[in-house]
Structure 1
Amino acid sequence: MTTSSKEPAPVRTAEPAGRPQRIHGLDALRGGALLLGIVLHACVPFIATQSWFFHDRYTSVGLAETNFVIHSFRMVLFMTLAGYFGALMLDRRGARRYVGDRAKRVLLPMFAFWPVAVFPLGLLALMFASTRPGTAQPEVTDPLVMFGPGQLWFLLVLMECIVITVAVRALLIRFIGRERTSAFSERMATLFSSRAGVLVASVPYTVVVLIQGRPMSGIIEPATIVPEVAPLVGYLGAFAVGWALRRRSDALAGISRDWAAYLTVGAISLSIMLIAQGQVPLPMGAALVALGGWCVTYGLIGVCVRFLSRPRPAIRYLADASYWMYLMHLPIVVAIGMSLADLNLPVAVKLSITLIGSSAMLLLTYQLAVRCTPLGAWLNGHRHPWKSAERGA
């Protein structure tokens, strides 16, 4: 991979007196990964081969390809950033306060939001099927599936990654000492920020796809609250990469030097899979999807570190709103999509209406009910005063 002639300055993670410095590029990227999930779910009704709550009368090959690309890297990117910010928070607060904060803001929302964000989806699917006699609905009798985490599965997997990582760190400190643990972490950060690091990072992803056997599906999420080894391995690997990168102050700057090369390799790898329609040997398909997903992850981190280092009010507002938007988006997206399913409108028009309508509703509810309320303090860790919220809006 080529190196740019302009050397980016190392990312500063030092904390000025009074308040921790916000890493604006990564913060925006984390919000973008969540918002991409809304785009992904809005596309699914137009993909005939994918199981969903309903299907539109029209299908789109282009949206199926878009869905594949987004799914190949989105949650890997999110878990990597979660690991990076997790290590940062642990350094500031200590392990006990870090785990307690994550239990409050990650695990508890999964249970608290399930009745309003997941349960209505089954009712919407039944209503849609009842108006179309020929529509078949699969019977679900397993209670674990009926009361599964739905789209909130990532919160459970993230909490599992947090607990495992903190436990392993504690064991290493206990048996080999704090200094050796820190030295090991720095060596891993050096490895993952090198050009070979993306290859090492892609190994767990490759193994998971080999186990699951479906390269075009990327890492398949768990369907119940019972931990599944395959997705946990894939996302724990991503979390560990982010955690390690925090150990060197210049690690992200090293990645940002080659952002264009990473994105190019990622685009080539994923394009091969799309051109071949997944009809390649499983080991090759697993390696291509994993390499493509990780190269896009590294490339996007590099772009945001290099070009989004300064605060931008609109981007910061969306980053703050993204958690609420993702938690609550799916019933709204599904309801709007169902209302458009039988209309004789182009796919692009239906998709635009779904995205614009749902985003407007989610942003409005965030502004009025979340941003300046105790709910916002719970989800985002801080509560914005009304005056600053009005300026942001």
Structure 2
Amino acid sequence: MTSTRGEKTERMHHWDFSRALYLVLGIPFHAAVIYSLSHEWSVSSPDKSQVLTYFANFIHTFRMPGFFLLAGLFSMMLLDRQGAWSWLKTRFFRLGLPLLSATLLIVPFQIVVQQAALAVNGTVSASDLPGLIRAQLTHFGEPWISHLWFLWVLIAYCVGLAILQALSRGTLRARLDALVDWVAGNRIVSLAAFTALCALAAQVQTLIVAASPYYGNAVVNYNLYVIYFGFGALVYSSRRLNDLLLKPGPAAFVLGAGLVTLSQMPHAGLLMHTAKVMAAIFGALLIVGFISNLAHRHFGQHNTRVRKLVDASFTIYLFHHPVIYVLATLFLLVDLPPVIEFAVIAVLAGFMSYAIHLAVSRSAIATLMFNGVRGKKAPLSEPAPVDTSRPYSVRG
């Protein structure tokens, strides 16, 4: 990422590292949910682990918030440079082409593997497998969205941001900066307003999920991250908020971990539900701030290895998902402790996904298809779209 504030153009390497980190964390997250007690993933092991359940739940509380926060930050940066409609046109190409390519070339393979896993674990008979695969491939449903949901959501968020920029006649950044200053000067009123909005969100979430538990959860999860996307736009627009995000230390991380843990507890009544919503938001921001602090202190300068990770991270995210599908299916045939299987799958998926990135980067056509950029390597100034997390039973 490059900052254009002031007279000097300065690359903020810590945001590059953070963005890549959130993408790559999709590997241990998805490897862990295979054995989760609280999530039913596309390829699940009959052997469950409480440790891996906690691990997956914890990563999920901050990984996608962190990604969407940085997506909002990068989006506001490029929007401020290019103008609403010019920027949105590049977003449609940059995000839409990888979405189309992955939907047509990666998702069908995943669907086949997912149905094969059902036959391997004995859920369906081998004779029924061809019919199940055909039915899944010819009917649109959640498997066709899969881990690509974040691209659909990110495109929608970008459209909304571009509309706001157009309505403000190019003054959106200044207005957001003024909003942060107003909040800082009216903290009690701002906190009361934020609490009221969280209470409203909790009530709406309850109504939506009650109306349709499956699709209701999808709607909630699709719209949940607009909070962090908007916060990222604020971070870019306000130096005050940018500096604040880089301050959280170890104590803030511990507090954030406690808050996100609290947010996952069962609740009764609107008051507790509101408290959980607020705990989830504040907890995620504290953890993301702590990671930002570490990245700023340790990866604030040019680093060749970090650059390679940033270049590879989006391709790794796209392809780690089908790789883990295959590995999870193969491990249905063996009987090892879940933690050992998880470790092997995570390590293998990391190496295999990086190998796929190296192959993709050798082809200008493949780079265009799966990164949305022309040339053999995605430029670092053009942030790769990111999450990871799935919007239904498991999102990430």
Query: Does 288-297 or 67-76 show the bigger shift?
Result: 288-297
Closer/same/farther in 2, CA of residues 134 and 232 from structure 1, 3 Å limit: closer
Q: Which residue is equivalent to 1:278?
A: 266
- Verify: 1:234 aligned to 2:230, yes or no: no
CA distance in structure 1 between the partners assigned to 2:331 and 2:184 by the alignment? 46
Quick one: which of 103, 109, 119 aligns to 1:120?
109
Q: Which residue is equivalent to 2:40?
A: 51
Q: Give the gaps of 5 or more residues in structure 1.
A: 1-10, 386-393
Quick one: which of 57, 60, 64 aligns to 1:71?
60
**Aligned-pair distance for 1:96?**
2.5
Query: CA-to-partner distance for each residue in 1:109-162, whole Å, 9 max, x for gaps?
Result: 112111232222221122122234345999979944156421100001011011
Quick one: which of 256, 263, 266 aligns to 2:246?
256
Q: Name the Cα RMSD after superposition.
A: 3.8
Q: Which residue is equivalent to 2:152?
A: 156
Contact 1:263 1:295 in 2 (8 A): yes
**Residue type at the aligned position of 1:278:** P
Contact 2:103 2:144 in 1 (8 A): no
Q: Which residue is equivalent to 1:330?
A: 321
Query: CA-to-partner distance for each residue in 1:17-54, whole Å, 9 max, x for gaps?
Result: 9x964321011111111111121111111114422223
SS state at 1:46 partner? coil
TM-score, normalised via structure 1 length: 0.78
Q: Which residue is equivalent to 1:317?
A: 308
Quick one: which of 109, 112, 122 aligns to 1:133?
122
Contact 1:193 1:251 in 2 (8 A): no
Closer/same/farther in 2, CA of residues 372 and 143 from structure 1, 3 Å limit: closer
CA distance in structure 2 between the partners assigned to 1:246 and 1:202 by the alignment? 24
Identity %: 19
**Residue type at the aligned position of 2:114:** A
Q: Which residue is equivalent to 2:79?
A: 90
Query: Does 313-322 or 118-127 show the bigger shift?
Result: 118-127
Equivalent pairs, count: 360
Quick one: which of 177, 182, 186 aligns to 1:186?
177
**Residue type at the aligned position of 1:105:** R
CA distance in structure 2 between the partners assigned to 1:185 and 1:356 by the alignment? 42
- Verify: 1:165 aligned to 2:154, yes or no: no
SS state at 1:88 partner? helix
Quick one: which of 361, 368, 375 aligns to 2:352?
361
**Residue type at the aligned position of 1:59:** K
Q: Give the gaps of 5 or more residues in structure 2.
A: 378-396
Q: Which residue is equivalent to 1:347?
A: 338
Q: Which residue is equivalent to 1:5?
A: none
Q: Which residue is equivalent to 2:390?
A: none
Closer/same/farther in 2, CA of residues 15 and 373 from structure 1, 3 Å limit: farther
CA distance in structure 1 between the partners assigned to 2:205 and 2:138 by the alignment? 21
Greater relative contact order (CA < 8 Å, ≥ 6 in sequence)? 2
CA distance in structure 2 between the partners assigned to 1:65 and 1:172 by the alignment? 44
Query: CA-to-partner distance for each residue in 1:326-376, whole Å, 9 max, x for gaps?
Result: 111111101111111242222222112211211111111211322663433
Closer/same/farther in 2, CA of residues 326 and 248 from structure 1, 3 Å limit: same
Query: Does 306-315 or 194-203 show the bigger shift?
Result: 194-203
TM-score, normalised via structure 2 length: 0.77
Closer/same/farther in 2, CA of residues 146 and 298 from structure 1, 3 Å limit: closer
Query: Does 124-133 or 72-81 show the bigger shift?
Result: 124-133
CA distance in structure 2 between the partners assigned to 1:78 and 1:201 by the alignment? 22
**Aligned-pair distance for 1:315?**
1.8
Contact 2:247 2:289 in 1 (8 A): no
**Residue type at the aligned position of 1:74:** R
Closer/same/farther in 2, CA of residues 368 and 229 from structure 1, 3 Å limit: closer
**Aligned-pair distance for 1:231?**
3.5
Quick one: which of 272, 282, 286 aligns to 1:291?
282
- Verify: 1:300 aligned to 2:296, yes or no: no
